[in-house]
């Protein structure tokens, strides 16, 4: 009998619906069972977040430190600038638009809501080290790997550790997330807050989708000006890649289609073969836009103070974290949890709402990332062409 596979997004939606329904039906003793699971799973997440950062960031830095020299550096800088710029665009747009859509304090802090539904017991799982230690250690070892040009032993160890972390995300965290989110919405429903939060979620999703479209238009207008080509025709040619990513929710799985479409846009085959696979890993403008917008929205819902100074550091650090996100649905938000915790003060309940919001738009974010790769390919191709011409 063929096993039925349900993608992560439908599972999250089902979990939210079940959480709201069961929150109205279940008695408090039964809801406390789910609160107990949430408390334990939340502590497991706290334990794993520094390990996720260390396991993903270290090999990413080691890999980026080697390669095609100047062209690699140029592509990486453009991808980072694009990712970080989308974060600042998202911040200023969200900070301007969301206050008119979201009532301040509309979503009473979930952690405070949860206090009315206590867990039967909890298991403390202290992290091996904190988030900042994980980041510093990642940079230290990652840069060390690039310096040890003739040694692959440490790099092999880190790649194996990355594989373990990725498997943990795929086989433990991601499968349990729907149950965790169902428990969050169950306790919120029991406390009378779910309807208000879901209403805000829908507004946030609509605004973020519009921002994605505007971001792609901006990226291709800039690329068109640099490459001296019609940006709208170039963007139209990238639509097959956009819809493929929309269906697969995977930048890596879309690489063959992205390669074909950037070649149709006139990008040199060698440049396309270098830029597209690299950007599938390091260019995360759509993911950045979503995370920043969701973070602003949740802070407004909880009436927590924030400013550009706080978010500037968050966005710059998140740009590095996006490079390390694994190619699994929800990978970017899992890599970002540590920064959300350490720089914006999000606790595990806040992070659960971030995960639910992020995954609700995961396909659109991936499609935005992939389509934006086509714009970067056009820019790098122009730079490469000018350098080649000047060398003749």
Q: Taken in order 81, 238, 260, 326, is the CA torsion positive or negative? A: positive
Choose the most confident range, by mean pLDDT, from 64-73, 105-114, 196-205, 235-244. Answer: 235-244
Poorest-pLDDT segment among 71-75, 256-260, 293-297, 308-312: 71-75
How far CA 116 is from CA of 32, 162, 186, 389, in Å, comes to: 10, 39, 12, 69
Q: How confident is the model at residue 109 (pLDDT cuts 50, 70, 90)?
A: very low
pLDDT single digits (tens) 3-18: 566 766 677 778 888 9
More confident call, 194 vs 92: 92
Q: Is it the case that residue 105 has pLDDT exceeding 70?
A: no
- Cβ 264 vs Cβ 291: under 8 Å: no
Q: Which residue has the tokens 């003060």?
A: 345
- Cβ 57 vs Cβ 150: under 8 Å: no
Q: Is it the case that residue 254 has pLDDT exceeding 70?
A: yes
CA distance 224 to 378: 8
- Mean pLDDT, residues 329-333 taken together: 67
Neighbours of 385 (CB within 10 A): 14
More confident call, 390 vs 28: 28
- What DSSP element (H or E) covers 188? helix 174-190
Predicted confidence at residue 83, as pLDDT, reads: 92
- Cβ 39 vs Cβ 203: under 8 Å: no
CA distance 225 to 147: 38
Burial of 240 (0-12, 13-18, 19+ CB in 10 A): middle
Q: Is it the case that residue 301 has pLDDT exceeding 90?
A: no
Residue-averaged pLDDT of the chain: 80
- Cβ 107 vs Cβ 302: under 8 Å: yes
Structure tokens at 161: 């550790």
Q: Is it the case that residue 386 has pLDDT exceeding 60?
A: yes
CA distance 275 to 279: 6
Predicted confidence at residue 68, as pLDDT, reads: 46
Structure tokens at 27: 């008695």
Predicted confidence at residue 115, as pLDDT, reads: 45
**In the chain, what are the domains?**
8-391 (1.10.3860)
Q: How confident is the model at residue 101 (pLDDT cuts 50, 70, 90)?
A: confident
Structure tokens at 62: 């080691």
- Count of all residues that appear for the chain in the document: 392
Backbone angles phi, psi at 104, to 5 degrees: -55, 130
Predicted confidence at residue 218, as pLDDT, reads: 94
Predicted confidence at residue 196, as pLDDT, reads: 66
Q: What percent of the chain has pLDDT over 70?
A: 83
CA distance 208 to 159: 34
- Cβ 62 vs Cβ 158: under 8 Å: yes
């Amino acid at each position: 009998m063929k096993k039925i596979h349900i993608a992560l997004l439908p599972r999250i939606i089902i979990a939210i619906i079940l959480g709201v329904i069961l929150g109205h039906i279940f008695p408090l003793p039964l809801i406390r069972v789910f609160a107990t699971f949430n408390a334990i799973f939340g502590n497991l997440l706290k334990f794993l977040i520094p390990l996720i950062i260390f396991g993903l960031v270290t090999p990413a830095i080691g890999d980026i430190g080697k390669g095609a020299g100047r062209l690699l550096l140029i592509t990486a800088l453009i991808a980072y600038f694009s990712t970080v710029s989308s974060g600042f665009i998202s911040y200023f747009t969200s900070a301007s638009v969301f206050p008119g859509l979201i009532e301040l304090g509309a979503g009473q802090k979930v952690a405070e809501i949860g206090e009315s539904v206590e867990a039967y017991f909890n298991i403390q799982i202290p992290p091996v080290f904190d988030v900042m230690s994980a980041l510093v250690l990642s940079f230290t070892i990652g840069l060390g790997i690039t310096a040890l040009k003739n040694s692959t032993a440490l790099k092999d160890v880190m790649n194996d550790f990355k594989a373990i972390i990725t498997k943990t995300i795929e086989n433990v965290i991601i499968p349990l997330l729907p149950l965790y989110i169902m428990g969050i919405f169950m306790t919120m429903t029991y406390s009378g807050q779910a309807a208000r939060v879901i209403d805000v979620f829908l507004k946030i999703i609509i605004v973020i989708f519009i921002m994605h479209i505007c971001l792609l238009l901006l990226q291709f207008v800039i690329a068109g000006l640099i490459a001296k080509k019609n940006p709208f025709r170039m963007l139209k040619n990238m639509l097959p890649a956009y819809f493929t990513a929309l269906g697969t929710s995977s930048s890596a799985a879309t690489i063959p289609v992205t390669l074909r479409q950037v070649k149709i846009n006139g990008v040199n085959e060698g440049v396309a073969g270098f830029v597209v696979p690299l950007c599938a890993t390091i260019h995360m403008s759509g993911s950045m836009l979503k995370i920043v917008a969701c973070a602003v929205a949740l802070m407004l819902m909880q009436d927590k103070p924030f400013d550009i100074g706080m978010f500037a550091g968050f966005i710059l650090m998140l740009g590095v974290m996006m490079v390390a996100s694994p190619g699994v649905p929800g990978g970017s938000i899992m890599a970002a949890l540590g920064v959300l915790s350490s720089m914006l003060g999000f606790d595990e309940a806040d992070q659960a709402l971030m995960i639910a919001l992020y995954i609700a738009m995961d396909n659109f974010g991936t499609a935005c990332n992939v389509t934006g790769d086509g714009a970067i390919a056009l820019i790098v191709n122009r730079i490469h062409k000018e350098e080649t011409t000047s060398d003749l």
